[in-house]
Amino acid sequence: MEDKIFAFMLGTVALLFIGVPLGLLALIGLMPVYSYFIFSVVAILYVIIAMISFGFFKTKRRKQITSIVALGILAVTGIPVVMQLYEDNIGTVAADINIHEYAPFVEGSTVTILDEEATLALKEDLPVLDGATAMYPLYSAFVQAVYPENPAYFEEEVVMVSTTPYAYENLFNGRADIIFAAAPSEQQMKWAESKGIKLELTPIGREAFVFFVNKKNPIDSLTIEQIRAIYSGKVTNWAEVGGERVDIRAFQRPQDSGSQTALQNLMGNVPLMEALTEDVVSGMGGIISEVAEYKNYKNAIGYTFRYYSTEMVKNKEIKLLPIDGIVPSAENIRNGTYPIASEFYAVTAGTDNPNVQKLLDWILSPQGQALVEKAGYVSVKE
């Protein structure tokens, strides 16, 4: 009898100090979904121990009923676990990118190097650079060409890579002299105006805005009007644009990112539908809703820029879609046939650094534009 009482008390302790906390944390979203399953296992074990302690299992029928109920509870709570494991196994396009791989003056770096000595050599008053992730391989190449050698530029925040929204923030707050990015969003323009900042956008290259789907998706091309219909929510099933009869999962990017601004510009006056979101835990322990990261479901569609997808991510599980039948290649950007190509910029905000204009002039020189092409981008000049 004492052994049964001890087992019952042990089960109670396990439920109170393991099962209940895990269940509550899962319920409010601070623990993964499999916490429900763990809670169920602990609770079932507790109930079984209690039943054994008080002699409940006197008949075979009671044992059978208890087993069926326990298995049913485990199955119900286990289904979300299986679904979560499945979702976690689905690849993303924003795969791990080692940004240091493109750093200037670092041994083993893949940074593009000029075939000749640069016609500009900066020694001091080095402009502080920042920009979009997709632009880093390019402005890193500029640094390699005209800055004095220093492997610690990244650590010293002379050459940063903060993504488009943070790069604009650094520019507005005087922490960067030049940023390399797509044109600012409407919100970023208003922010600059509120701070009395006049942005100067110097076109230095051209890039394609691309849409991609899972490589198993039978869709091989979309028109601009079809894309607008998808991202306005008017078209919700792939069968409506010639694909399989499955719902479309149209992912978006965070507000003020370069690719999100490009999508908004493409939509024109067509209202953009609300983005897919997911709840995540903030640094303060609360739950916040963020734009869902693209996951490569068979029915998903996403977007980015050509160089980022083909040269940096190199994801073999997606395929870039021709738009209006035109492939987003460097040649089609160059000859103007790809319909969603736009300029990208070196953006300044009235810096007093004397070498900023020298660097911009060199980037637009034949040598600078040749480096743009060699790095895999498309120049703005013949």
pLDDT of 122 strictly over 50: yes
Residue 374's pLDDT is 96
DSSP 126: P
Write down the pTM of the prediction.
0.76
- Same domain for 24 and 158, yes or no, is no
Residue 89's pLDDT is 59
pLDDT of 11 strictly over 60: no
Token pair in block for residue 224: 């601009």
- Same domain for 246 and 373, yes or no, is yes
Residue 21's pLDDT is 56
DSSP 164: H
Residue 203's pLDDT is 97
* Percentage, residues of the chain above pLDDT 70: 72
Q: Give the pLDDT band (50/70/90) at residue 171.
A: very high
Can you give the CATH number for the domain in which 222 is found?
3.40.190.10
Domain region containing 41: 2-89
pLDDT, tens digit, 9 for 90 and up, residues 30-47: 445 555 556 566 666 656
CA 380 distance to own-chain centroid:
27
- Same domain for 240 and 345, yes or no, is yes
CA distance 319 to 62: 57
CA distance 306 to 341: 10
CA distance 18 to 226: 52
- Same domain for 35 and 176, yes or no, is no
pLDDT of 278 strictly over 50: yes
Tell me the H-state helices in 216-272. 224-232, 258-267
Q: How crowded is the C-beta side of 326, counted as CA atoms within 13 Å?
A: 20
- Same domain for 103 and 191, yes or no, is yes
Reduced to 3 states (helix: H, G, I; strand: E, B; else coil), residue 269 is: coil
Q: Which secondary structure element, helix H or strand E, spans residue 279, and what is its range?
A: strand 277-281
pLDDT, tens digit, 9 for 90 and up, residues 344-372: 999 999 899 999 999 999 999 999 999 99
- Same domain for 6 and 113, yes or no, is no
Query: What is the helix, strand, coil percentage profile of the chain, to 5?
Result: 45, 15, 40
| Domain stops at, among 30, 58, 89 | 89
Token pair in block for residue 61: 């029928």
- Same domain for 7 and 149, yes or no, is no
Domain count for the chain, please give it.
2
pLDDT, tens digit, 9 for 90 and up, residues 175-201: 999 999 999 999 999 999 999 999 999
| Domain stops at, among 67, 89, 111 | 89
Cβ burial, residue 35 (10 Å; 0-12/13-18/19+): buried
- Same domain for 107 and 85, yes or no, is no
CA distance 126 to 359: 10
CA distance 273 to 247: 15
Reduced to 3 states (helix: H, G, I; strand: E, B; else coil), residue 294 is: coil
Task: Specify the higher pLDDT residue, 81 or 320.
Answer: 320
Helices and strands of the chain, counted as H and E runs: 13, 9
Token pair in block for residue 140: 């890193």
Largest CA distance in the chain: 93
- Same domain for 269 and 368, yes or no, is yes
User: Where do we find the tokens 């956008």?
Assistant: 201
* Residue among 370, 372, 328 at smallest CA distance from 346: 372
- Same domain for 25 and 63, yes or no, is yes
CA distance 149 to 175: 22
- Same domain for 305 and 329, yes or no, is yes
- Same domain for 218 and 163, yes or no, is yes
Q: What are phi and psi of 286, to 5 degrees?
A: -95, 175
| Domain stops at, among 62, 89, 116 | 89
